[in-house]
Amino acid sequence: MDRRQFIGASLAALPFASAWADDYPKRAIRWINPFPAGSPTDAVARKLAEFASPIIGPPIFIDNKAGANGSIGTQEVARSAPDGYTMGIAIGDSLISVASLLKNPGYDSRKDLSLICKFSSSTAVLFANAQSGIKSLSELIARAKAKPESLSYASFGQGTQPHMIMASLEEVTGARFVHVPYKGLAPAMQDILGNAVQLSVGPPVMIAQYMQKNQLFPLAILGPRRTEFLPQVPTFVEQGFDNPFLRESTWWAGLIGPKKLPQAIVDRWGDVVKQAISKPEFAQFLATGAGGQLPTFVGPDAFAKELASEWEMTNTLLRKLGVTPQ
C-alpha cells in the first residue's frame, strides 16, 4: 500500500471510529478496585460510580481485587482489553510505591496503563495523642532528639504514607522514632489512644473529631498548603521542616484503564468524571464520609506528569530508606 492509499484508508476509517465512540458504552462497565471492600478507597469508588453511572448510561459495578499493595487488581486492569469496559481505581500506593515494595508488581504504571484522570485529593496530618503531652512539632523534634527512639509511631507498613512522612522527618531533623506497623486503622487507633504508640498520620476530618474530645493534638499538615478542615494547623514547610515528600506529597485517587485505550474513551470518561465530581452531594460525601477529601479533577496529560514526578520522589526516598522489594 503506497502513502496515498494508506491515507485514504485511514480517512475512510474515521467515520467508523467516530460511530463506534458515539455508540460506547453498550453494556455494564467494571471498575476494579485493588483494595478491600469497605476500605476508604472502596467507599470513594462506589460513590463516584453512583454519580457517574447516570451520566455515562449503563451501570458501573465495583469489582474488588485486593492484595499485594494494590498490584493484583491493577495488574488485571493492565491486562484487560482496551475497550472501555474494564477500568480501575488507582491511588499512589498501587501506582507508585509498589515499584519499590514488590520485586515484580506485573506492570509499570508509567507505560502499561492509560491514565484517565484524578478525581479526589486530600492531605494528611501528623498528630500526637494527648497523653504524650506533645502539642507542637518543635516540641516533638526536641524530645525525639533528646531521647532517640523514645517515641513510636503507627503506620500501615513500609512505604505507606505515615512511614514516608516520619522517615522524611527523621531525614530532615536527625530525630529517631520507633516504627510500629499495623494491619489497619482500627487497631492502630486503639493503641494510639491507649498511649502504646504516641504518633501517627491520618485524615484531617478524623483527627478533628478526636481533637474535640481532647484526645489528639495536630502537629503539622503534609503538602504544599494548609487544609480547610484544620486551617489553624501549619504545614511542615511553614514550620521549617522541608524535603520533597513533606513539601509536595498529597493523597489522591484516580481512574485508569488498560494501555492503548482509545482517546475518545479517555476523553469521554474525563467528561463524565468531571460532571460527577461537580455534584455538591459528591463533595459533601468526600468531606464528611471519606476523611476530608476534596473533588479534584486532573486530566490525563497533567496526571502523567504528576505521576512521573511523584514516582521519582517516592521511590528515591524508599531506596534511601533501604526498603527491599519482597
Higher pLDDT, 54 or 9: 54
Is residue 20 in a domain? Answer: no
Q: Are both 142 and 238 inside the same structural domain?
A: yes
Q: What is the pLDDT of residues 71-98, one digit of tens each?
A: 999 999 999 999 999 999 999 889 998 8
Q: What is the pLDDT of residue 139?
A: 97
Choosing from 248, 271, 299, the residue where a domain stops is 248
pLDDT at 11 over 70: no
Contact criterion met (CB below 8 Å) for 250 and 121: yes
Is residue 232 in a domain? Answer: yes
Higher pLDDT, 287 or 150: 150
Q: What is the pLDDT of residue 76?
A: 98
Q: What is the pTM of this model?
A: 0.85
Structural domain span for residue 50: 29-120+251-320
Q: Please name the residue that has the C-alpha cell 476509517.
A: 13
Question: What is the pLDDT averaged over residues 188-198?
Answer: 94
Choosing from 248, 263, 293, the residue where a domain stops is 248
Is residue 15 in a domain? Answer: no
Q: What is the pLDDT of residue 178?
A: 98
Q: Show the cell assigned to 117.
A: 484522570
Contact criterion met (CB below 8 Å) for 307 and 96: yes
Choosing from 204, 223, 248, the residue where a domain stops is 248
Q: Are both 235 and 133 inside the same structural domain?
A: yes
pLDDT at 2 over 70: no
Q: How many domains is the chain built from?
A: 2
Q: Are strands 113-122 and 294-298 parallel, antiparallel or unpaired?
A: antiparallel
Strands (E), the chain: 29-33, 60-64, 86-91, 113-122, 125-129, 152-155, 178-181, 199-202, 216-221, 251-258, 294-298
Is residue 3 in a domain? Answer: no
pLDDT at 132 over 70: yes
Higher pLDDT, 289 or 191: 191
Q: What is the pLDDT of residue 206?
A: 83
Q: Are both 170 and 97 inside the same structural domain?
A: no
Q: What is the pLDDT of residues 194-216, one digit of tens each?
A: 999 999 998 888 888 899 899 99
Eight-class DSSP state of 69: G
Is residue 136 in a domain? Answer: yes
Q: What is the pLDDT of residue 10?
A: 45
Q: How confident is the model at residue 21 (pLDDT cuts 50, 70, 90)?
A: low
Q: Are both 137 and 234 inside the same structural domain?
A: yes
Q: Are both 182 and 211 inside the same structural domain?
A: yes
* Cα–Cα dist 55/139, whole Å: 51
Q: Are both 155 and 213 inside the same structural domain?
A: yes
CATH number of the structural domain spanning residue 241: 3.40.190.10
Radius of gyration for the chain, computed over Cα atoms and rounded to the nearest angstrom: 22
Q: Are both 242 and 263 inside the same structural domain?
A: no
Question: What is the pLDDT averaged over residues 46-56?
Answer: 97
Q: Are both 256 and 244 inside the same structural domain?
A: no
Question: What is the pLDDT averaged over residues 239-264?
Answer: 93
Question: What is the pLDDT averaged over residues 41-56?
Answer: 96
Q: What is the pLDDT of residue 47?
A: 97
Q: Are both 129 and 240 inside the same structural domain?
A: yes
Question: What is the pLDDT averaged over residues 138-145?
Answer: 97
pLDDT at 9 over 60: no
- CA-CA distances (angstroms) from residue 70 to 127, 157, 281, 289? 26, 13, 28, 22
Is residue 8 in a domain? Answer: no
Q: What is the pLDDT of residue 3?
A: 44
* Cα–Cα dist 306/255, whole Å: 14
Q: Are both 99 and 168 inside the same structural domain?
A: no
Question: What is the pLDDT averaged over residues 160-182?
Answer: 92
Please provide the average confidence, as pLDDT, over all residues in the chain.
Answer: 90
CATH number of the structural domain spanning residue 69: 3.40.190.150
Q: What is the pLDDT of residue 38?
A: 85
